Amino acid sequence: MNKKKLNHALSELIKLVEVLRGPDGCPWDAKQTKETIRIYLLEEAYEVADAIEKGSPEETCGELGDLLFQIIFLADMAEKKGDYDLVKVIEDITKKMTHRHPHVFGNTSAETPEEVSESWAKIKKAENSSNKVPVSQLLSEIPINLPALLRAHRLSQRASKVGFDWDGKEEVWLKVREEVEELGQSLPGCEREKIGEEIGDLMFSLVNLARHWNLNAEDLMRDANQKFLKRFGEVEEALKTSGIDLDDATAVEMNKAWDKIKLRETRCPQNSGKLKTG
């Protein structure tokens, strides 16, 4: 990386934000607050994740730029209020990451990702203690604005670092089955709020089942969404081919098209059209 070129590029972007929010700049940019920008920050972060998932370096580069713009935008607002500036943001994260990697910058050792993770949790706990933050507040550090499935994963993952976890996959699976049973018992004549609570408990237990298989429920849900999107598009196309408009299609016709598409997807190519048995 050309550091001189980097310094120049970063300086130019900072100047751009200052002009946009200045007296002769953009009225829309000037009126923004940290509360209004928060939504755009989240959207840009999601778009970075989408670009990574698509595997497009060019698109990822562009989305990272959009996200960086939002970060500098927020830092500029904070500087104008006297809260902090971009220099402090960078210095603080550099200091934090150096402190949390003693196996790289210090005298300790960590040979595996698991050892690094354990060390990280201990260091964070010590930091909270030195800042007079109760240990019981550990989970409150997980951002509340994370997507719910990802936040559930992070909450349970963080709790597991202090030993609050199931012993293995089988125990989590038993918990999932228990939550399914509780939901089934709640359905007949139960209040909407109670049913919603039971569904939430079931979803949380499923997040943990995924975690114990080293899977992230947020990623799984994104994949499931994409699968549904693809299949529904194929349903629409199949109906159109049959001369049926989606708005006029019956539930029976849509389900029939859906089942055909699903059946086609489950056929194993190397078995000459035979259905998978496993």
CA distance 275 to 133: 57
Cα gap 141→138, rounded to integer Å: 6
Q: Is the pLDDT of residue 203 over 70?
A: yes
Please give the pLDDT value at position 268.
Answer: 43
Average pLDDT in the chain: 87
Query: Which of residues 50 and 127 earns the better pLDDT score?
Result: 50
Beta carbons of 277 and 267 less than 8 angstroms apart: no
Please give the pLDDT value at position 132: 55
Quote the CA–CA distance of 195 and 54 in Å, as a whole number: 36
pLDDT computed for residue 267 by the predictor = 63
Span 244-250, average pLDDT: 92
Q: Which residue has the tokens 């840009």?
A: 44
Question: Which residues are bridge partners to 267 per DSSP?
Answer: 275
Chain segment 79-103, per-residue pLDDT in tens: 999 999 999 999 999 999 999 999 9
